């Protein structure tokens, strides 16, 4: 089984390669842009058959240069929600995706691609339906436009596609192999580094009608994201757009307490409640950044009805379980 993973050196892409390797699949063409050379670390311990630069891949694939490919996991994109260059965003996230979709259909290759919960933006309902799609930034719009294009071409549930097409609206994904993402890395990653450096973690204060650290997101652990992607690989008749989150929103305070207590546990220190951690100065609430006002989702929670109706019954880790596993991984993999 030959597989292509775009964005293969990135966060989700490299974890998908890892998940495929765990199944004994290593006939994998990894596609990425390693201008930021340190991303190689995400592939160094994995098995692939070939690496192709993203600038070359899309034209070569359309020409059939790689022979018969079973499926493409399309994770390559500009994922910086603060990026303001709309032309760059649309070229990367929309135009290339459209070209890849048509090439996959022409060659009988299945396409499993990354959409985003940013397509919902200012909505308070997170169900895969056009009336709830209200992106707040050009990143969210670029992802939504591709979803809309596919609905127009192959039907609202992608039912008219020649081969399987499935898009995943990732919610707040966190976990190993995101260290290269800089400011776009998860809050758990940043809090690990904050605690290591300063003995405390930072959270936004009051905003959007929520108290300090009370904004709520659907935080989903990377292992669960991989498991759902691979379920779709195993189920080629499942197609459409699907939310990929836990289905349960939790406050940022839950992440902070889990980070603090997991790292304290490694030092055999007493476990703390939220109030105890805040009173002890282990959680530092900071003013909400003006640059994010009006562009920030204070609440997200994936509606999993469509995913469950498709037959995927995967059980997701909560913040407490996922963050504890992630903190242990970060601690084990600290750079000397």
In the set 139, 221, 296, 326, the catalytic residue is 139
Active site residue 139: yes
242, 306 in Cβ contact below 8 A? Answer: yes
In the set 2, 134, 181, 248, the catalytic residue is 181
d(CA 283, CA 257): 8
Count of CB atoms situated within 10 Å of the CB of 197: 8
d(CA 6, CA 228): 17
Full 3-state SS string of the chain: CCEEEECCCCHHHHHHHHHHHHCCCCCEEEEECCCCHHHHHHCCCCCCCEEEEHHHHHHHHHCCCCCCCCEEEECCCCCCCCCCCHHHHHHHHHHHHHHHHHHHHHHCCEEEEECCHHHCECCCCCCCCHHHCECCCHHHHHHHHHHHHHHHHHCCCCCCCCCCEEEEEECEEECCCCHHHHHHCCHHHHHHHHHHHHCCEEEECCECCECCCCCEECEEEHHHHHHHHHHHHHCCCCCEEEEECCCCCEEHHHHHHHHHHHHHHCCCCCCCCHHHHHHCCCEEEECCCHHHCCCCCCECCCCCHHHHHCCCCCCCCCHHHHHHHHHHHHHHCCCC
Active site residue 94: no
Angstrom distances, CA of residue 94 to CA of 39, 76, 78, 334:
23, 11, 10, 36
> Which residues does the annotation mark as catalytic?
139, 181
């Amino acid at each position: 089984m030959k597989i292509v993973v775009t964005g293969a050196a990135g966060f989700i892409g490299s974890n998908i390669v890892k998940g495929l390797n765990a199944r004994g699949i290593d006939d994998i063409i990894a596609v990425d842009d390693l201008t930021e050379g340190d991303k190689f670390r995400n592939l160094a311990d994995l098995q692939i058959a070939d690496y192709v630069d993203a600038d070359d891949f899309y034209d070569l694939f359309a020409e059939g240069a790689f022979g018969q490919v079973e499926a493409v996991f399309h994770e390559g994109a500009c994922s910086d929600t603060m990026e303001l260059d709309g032309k760059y965003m649309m070229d990367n996230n929309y135009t290339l995706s459209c070209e890849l979709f048509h090439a996959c259909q022409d060659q009988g290759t299945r396409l499993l691609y990354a959409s985003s919960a940013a397509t919902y933006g200012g909505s308070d309902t997170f169900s895969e339906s056009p009336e709830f799609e209200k992106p707040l930034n050009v990143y969210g719009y670029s992802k939504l436009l591709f979803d809309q294009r596919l609905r127009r071409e192959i039907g609202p549930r992608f039912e008219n596609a020649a081969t399987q097409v499935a898009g995943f609206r990732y919610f707040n994904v966190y976990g190993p192999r995101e260290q290269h993402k800089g400011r776009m890395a998860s809050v758990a990653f940043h809090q690990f580094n904050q605690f290591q450096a300063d003995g405390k973690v930072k959270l936004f204060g009051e905003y959007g009608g929520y108290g300090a650290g009370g904004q709520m997101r659907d935080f989903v652990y990377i292992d669960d994201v991989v498991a759902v992607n691979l379920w779709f690989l195993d189920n080629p008749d499942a197609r459409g757009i699907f939310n990929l989150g836990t289905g349960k929103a939790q406050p940022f305070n839950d992440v902070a307490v889990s980070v603090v207590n997991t790292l304290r546990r490694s030092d055999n220190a007493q476990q703390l409640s939220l109030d105890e951690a805040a009173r002890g100065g282990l959680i530092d609430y900071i003013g909400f950044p003006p640059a994010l006002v009006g562009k920030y989702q204070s609440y997200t929670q994936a509606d999993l009805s469509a995913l469950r109706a498709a037959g995927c019954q995967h059980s997701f880790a909560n913040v407490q379980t996922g963050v504890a596993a992630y903190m242990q991984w970060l601690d084990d993999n600290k750079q000397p």
